[in-house]
Structure 1
Amino acid sequence: MLKEREKFSSRLGFILVSAGCAIGLGNVWKFPYMAGKFGGAAFILIYLVFLVILGLPILICEFAVGRASRRSTAKAFHMLEPEGSNFHKFSYMSMVSNYVLMFFYTMVSGWMMYYCYATASGRLAGKDTQAVADYFSGLKASPGTMTFWMVLVVVLSFGICALGVQKGLEKIVKVMMICLLALITVLAVHSLSLDGAAEGVKFYLVPDFDAMKEIGIGNVIFGAMSQAFFTLSIGAGSMTIFGSYLEKKRSLAGESIHITILDTFVALMAGLIIIPACFAFGVEPDAGPGLIFITLPNVFNQMAGGRIWGFLFFLFMSFASLSTVIAVFENILSYAIDLRGWSRRKAVVVNLILMIGLSMPAILGFNVLSGVQPLGAGTSIMDLEDFIVSNNILPLGSVVYVMFCVSRYGWGFDGFLREVNTGDGIQFPKGIRYYMLFVIPAVILVIYLKGYYDMFCQKGPVTLALWMVIGVLVLALVGWFIFGRKKRTKKC
């Protein structure tokens, strides 16, 4: 007999833990520089629209699959799919995605914790622009330093998961999220009080559609659509596990809206911290991925009390990244528990050792293995791992979830709607089925193919053509997951 499923002790716990999984580096690292790159407020306005019409329905699908099956993606599709369906084969893609994401995410979380320590100890104080850039380069060139901080992240996160759903995951992530929300509020108030911050606020909150035309309306719309899609951590099954721990007292649409609002609040507040500060000190807010580790330390060095504010900022970033690591580790543990029947302790020990080993290639890719450039000149092992997850599994996984929930080849819309609308709260509209069946998958496929084009268009027509063919083949495989049917064995 199956052991009774653990559950969250409170509704707040579910919302904060799920939001903690969604609130990661995509919100607090990528969102501010995307807003800076694509013109500020006009980008944000379009982003919010796509968040509601694209991200929210997929999030609801993941929660519904988890709550109805009471299992992670390792077994959820097996339990809900009709006879002869191939959807259960997506389970393996989902498991691979969560592991591969953590191969490099643990390293980047280690960077955040290291910079928290470096700013608190004054190691960045007084350095000029070049010295700050060299400091980050020095970190990447040191496999020993990066390994230490990665191992710290892995041990700390698995240690929390080892305590269980209520005593570990829920209890600690709740505290972490409350601290994160407090820190982000303090940092935003301070940023708004800086001399010259008003121009940054205007850029960030007042739409300038003329500037949007200069950047390119299509570019801004696609950028906003992509960011809205990736910000909720949907497509890999990370949210399914939290749905499996949820009681049926509340409808899933209402709970998903609360999580989306909290996720969006953190992303918007992160921009409100960074962009006014950049304007106040004459720094371009579209500095890209280097914004956090190169541009902002220079801003803190110019600020009164910059050492304290820098420490608080990287503490906030550490909480944001760790909450995601802990949440995804919980999903990884659930695979071993659901598939193999392992105890939580055994699953923790095996996966802790495994994760440390599998995180090493990303670390070594910046130094010892820097000659390995899998996606072309200038790329690293981390770029390949990120490409596998962000450009492939997340968008295609989202298509699988939507089609599983609304098409006749999967669970079906009636079963999905029944599960989503069980409990008190906002009811999911029945008339949205065809929008989910046709429009959402089409939009995601555009994002998927555009992602391949953007990644390889600068590498020559032959390389672009080769990778586009690979992308189409992967797409065909996913189509088989959705529409492929096993032949039923005839009974004698």
Structure 2
Amino acid sequence: MKQNKENANPGSGKGERFSSSGFILAAIGSAVGLGNMWKFPYITGQNGGAAFFLLFIICLIIVGLPVLMAELAIGRGGRGNASTSFFKIGGNRTFGRLGLLSVIAPTLILSFYSIVAGWTLHYAVQTFSGKLFTGGDFSEQFNDFTSGYMSIVWTFVVMVCTCAVIIKGVSSGIEKFNKILIPGMLILLIVLMIRALTLPGAGEGASFFLRPDFSKLSAEAALVALGHAFFSLSLGMGTMITYGSYVERKQSLGAATFAIGGGDLLYAFIAGLIIFPTTFSFGIDAGQGPGLVFVALPAAFSAMPFGSLFGGLFFVLLAIAALTSTVSLLEVPVAFTMERWGWSRKKAACILAALIFVLSIPSLLSLGLVPELKIANKGFFDFMDFVASNILLPLGGLIVTIFVGYFWKNVAEEVGLKSAWFRIWLFMLRYVAPILIALIFLYSSGLLKL
């Protein structure tokens, strides 16, 4: 029987490849997730607005982009999954085993990220239908939903949609999916930004986001900005290594790195120009935490002319951002199992999607139905988030910087940078990024107190 191109071993170099534009859009889709629209606004609000945003940009340049290029280079150089690419490049089995962390991390992340993605789909439906605005207490509505059985149903819907895209393969699935959704997301961003900037009192919110007050910065704010710059690019979780393995040789990794970083930054910038004018216009505290999106903003939409329309568009935007990320997260373990055990793409996607959905059940239950479901005094949802985001991702990033900076002898040929730029990039990977990532790890894991 003739083997389907999509089922070819991705590490063999015979699997399908992204087109240049498809790769950029898919990588931007992976990087641009819920964190930019959900987490970025409230941590910016908590840490002084514009000054924090500038700090985030600096951190993105000095840590995010160098590590991003390193991950893409590992993937393309090794033409394998997030684990075997290390061994194929350097012949060092230790790094291949350590690379397993970059397969485990996205698997764990998807088990709770899919839950939040399900919330966005539910809220999009509820907002467009007007049902979200029938009650007055949005906090109670959110708690009732997240602690009920419908949250499980929406998580299942997310995993089915994600699996369906992955089954289609690299070019026919992931690339086409992102070529439709990423431009659509940009259109929604612009529409919502215009609406937000034309609200009464929106200028004060825009000023908060665009005029820096450096007196509000602190050492803790610097570490928060550093951590978000690292995580917002999907680093340390194997997605960029996996996507890098599907990149054509003619693709400039330098240009791709700046395009992905620029796309991530543009999304965060426009998100700020949506969130802050809206919150200031309706007297909402932009730094109130995770409840900003699912509790405070619905209250703003309910008081806004055509609130059901703009609220619905907002949650559709969130859902698109979430789904482009869930696709990249599932592709990592799927690529691993296809190469490691020779599974077909369909078999790998279906089995892993089912297993990850089952893994999400304890997290779902811990949010309300079984609140006593805890590990180390943390709810199961929070525990999974803590282990994956605060331990596995920084460790994955450290492994990348150490491997590329000190063990990969022919890295210059793969990245294709001019000598001066290459020396700067290698210096950042060897001496700057590892220290800063170690600080991220110490701070996010609670070992470093400020």
TM-score category of the 2 structures, normalised to the smaller one: over 0.9
1:433 corresponds to which letter in structure 2? L
The answer for the alignment partner of 2:123 in structure 1 is 115
Equivalent residues of 1:5, 1:245 under 8 A apart: no
Distance 1:432 1:331 in 2: 26
Deviations 1:203-237 (A, max 9, x none): 00011123x1xxx5222222222211211010111
1:8 and 1:170 in contact (8 A); partners too: no
Query: Residue by residue, what CA displacement relative to the aligned partner does 1:97-119 show, whole Å, maximum 9, x if unpaired?
Result: 11100110111100110001111
Looking at structure 2, the residues matched to 20 and 117 of structure 1 have their Cα atoms a distance apart, in angstroms, of 22
In structure 1, distance between residues paired with 2:349 and 2:91:
33
Structure 1 residue runs of 5 or longer lacking an equivalent are 459-492
User: Aligned residues, how many?
Assistant: 441
Contact kept, 8 Å, 1:421 with 1:428, in 2: the verdict is: no
Say whether 1:343 aligns with 2:348. Answer: no
CA deviations on 1:128-150 (whole Å, 9 max, x unpaired) are 3xx110000101221x2011111
For residue 292 of structure 1, give the secondary structure of its aligned residue in structure 2.
helix
The aligned residue for residue 295 of structure 1 is: 296
Asked if the contact 2:63–2:428 (Cα under 8 Å) also holds between the matched residues in 1, the reply is no
| Deviation of the 1:450 alpha carbon | 1.4
Q: TM-score, normalised by structure 2?
A: 0.94
User: Aligned with 1:124: secondary structure?
Assistant: helix
Q: Residues 417 and 430 of structure 1 are in contact (CA less than 8 Å); yes or no, is this contact kept in structure 2?
A: no
| Of 417, 436, 441, the match for 1:443 | 436
Q: State percent identity of aligned pairs.
A: 33
Q: Which residue of 1 aligns with 2:166?
A: 161
Residue correspondence of structure 1 range 239-388 to structure 2 within 5 A: 239-376=240-377, 379-388=378-387
Aligned residue number for residue 63 of structure 2: 54
Q: In the superposition, relative to structure 1, how do residues 186 and 53 fare at CA in structure 2: closer, same or farther (>3 Å)?
A: same
85-94 vs 157-166, which moves further: 85-94
RMSD over aligned CA atoms reads 1.9
Does the aligned pair in 1 maintain the 2:362–2:373 contact within 8 Å? no
Q: Deviations over 1:247-292 (max 9, x none)?
A: 1113211111000000111111111101110001111110110001
Match of 1:23 among 29, 32, 37: 32
Measure how far apart 1:93 and its partner are.
1.4
In 2, Cα distance between equivalents of 1:307 and 1:383: 31
1:133 and 2:139 are equivalent in the alignment: yes
Determine if contact 1:126/1:301 at 8 Å carries over to the other structure.
no
Q: Distance in 1 between matches of 2:353 and 2:382?
A: 23
Flag as ranges the 4+ runs of structure 1 deviating above 6 A: none
Alignment of 1:349-428 (within 5 A): 349-376=350-377, 379-407=378-406, 410-412=407-409, 415-421=410-416, 428=421
Residues 41 and 207, structure 1, Cα contact 8 Å, conserved in 2: yes
Q: Matched residues in 1 for 2:391 and 2:71: separation?
A: 18
Residue by residue over 1:81-101, the C-alpha shift from the partner in whole angstroms, topping out at 9 and shown as x without a partner, is 245x51111132122111100
1:93 — aligned with what? 101
- The answer to whether the Cα contact below 8 Å between 2:142 and 2:295 also exists between their aligned partners in 1 is yes
Match of 2:5 in 1: none
Residue pair 2:405, 2:429 contacting (<8 A) in 1 also: yes
Which secondary structure does the structure 2 equivalent of 1:266 belong to?
helix
Q: Deviation at 1:343?
A: 1.1
- 1:4/1:209 CA distance change after superposition, 3 Å: closer
TM-fit CA distance, 1:411? 2.0
One-letter amino acid of the counterpart of residue 420, structure 1: V
Q: 1: distance between equivalents of 2:76 and 2:342?
A: 20
Distance 1:397 1:134 in 2: 38
Which residues of structure 2 form unaligned runs of 5+?
A: 1-7
Alignment of 1:195-234 (within 5 A): 195-210=200-215, 212=216, 216-234=217-235
Provide the C-alpha distance between the structure 1 equivalents of 2:308 and 2:191, rounded to a whole number of angstroms.
15
CA contact (8 A) 1:104 1:359 kept: yes
SS at match of 2:276: helix
Deviation per residue, 1:440-478 (Å, 9 max, x gap):
1111111111122279x79xxxxxxxxxxxxxxxxxxxx
